[in-house]
Structure 1
Amino acid sequence: MRKQISDAARLRVTLLDLDPAPWRIIEVPLSMTFKGLHEAIQAAFLWFDCHLWEFDVADRCYSLPLDGDQGLERTYNASTARLTKLRDSGISEFLYIYDMGDNWEHHVEVLDLFDMPAGARLPAFIDGKWRRPPEDVGGVPGFEMFLEAMADPKHEDHDDLFDWYGKPFDAQDIEPEIVKVQMGRLASMRRPKK
């Protein structure tokens, strides 16, 4: 009897250069494209998907082609490249970069490859900890200043940053209910395996 080839992956995505480092564990079908993985990571971290992004996988850059892109580095189309590459090439880790200005680097680790049960709805959120920084906060240095000002009501920037963010920053609340709804929306757009 022929062994079935794994068709899904469990991934741990960790936002680098922060302490504590926000992380999420998600499960995705390997038939998904890198663009689909981008959407799943956006949903898992509740990013707003309003900036450029790319994957750096085994010395290849996957992103969306830009009009007039004359970059020196060849970019592969993330809309057509599938995650089966991870399984077929034995890739166990890679980078996802979101927002080239703030430069949020995420380390993506393949924790497991498995056979997706019939009727399974992926992608799915499994676990996570620590809220990600606000969009457009200014990268790691800006986030550190933001945390300092938000924690001290006497800080000269406290009121402005509180107004900008709109509420207290709770580093422990990753809003799992919203994450699950967002991931469920992505899963419902995919055809279930028969």
Structure 2
Amino acid sequence: MAVIAVSIIKTESWLSSALLFIVVWIFSFCVAMYKDAEENEKEDKEKRKTRRKSRSRSRSDSDDDRLPTGWNGTDEIMVTGLKHGGREKFIREHHQEIDSDNVIDLVREPDNRYDRNAVGCLWKGTHIGYIPSGSAQFLAPALDNGMRITATCDVWTSPDGEALRVYLKFSGKTDKDWRMLERVIKQISDYSE
């Protein structure tokens, strides 16, 4: 294209012909680069689309549909449901009291319309949240079979005060309860992996 343009335009000096040739060549180069970039962008979009589809397929075919456990990998479970029913506000207002007297009562709610394995967490009779459903599916049957455990909590707030977390730590009342609790914790841990 550059050669044709130079031959069509009649110029009087070789310098202006060379300059015109360079300008036309740079323009042609830029157009070609733009077209390549456009094609690459289309290819990238297709690849991203394909990856998204395969990810969503693999998620639905794998164990990634597991219920959340709130398990932190050590010996604590994070309480859920803090945002409902004014619970977060209550916990923020009573943060110091809850931390000093941190015994939490675990109450089975077999008639809960959202989760038949629901285990509520109460502090001095006030509902502050739930055991996450992924953990409750193992904890509820054990509680129904007579396991007696106590839970203590640790209230954590981020330095900026935005995030609020309540972590529970369990302990059995008798040796039998400890053994049952250890089995439940192993089930939760295995399920979380």
- In the superposition, the TM-score normalised over structure 1's length comes to 0.26
**Greater relative contact order, per chain length (Cα 8 Å cut-off, separation 6+):** 1
TM-score by length of 2: 0.26
Higher helix share: 2
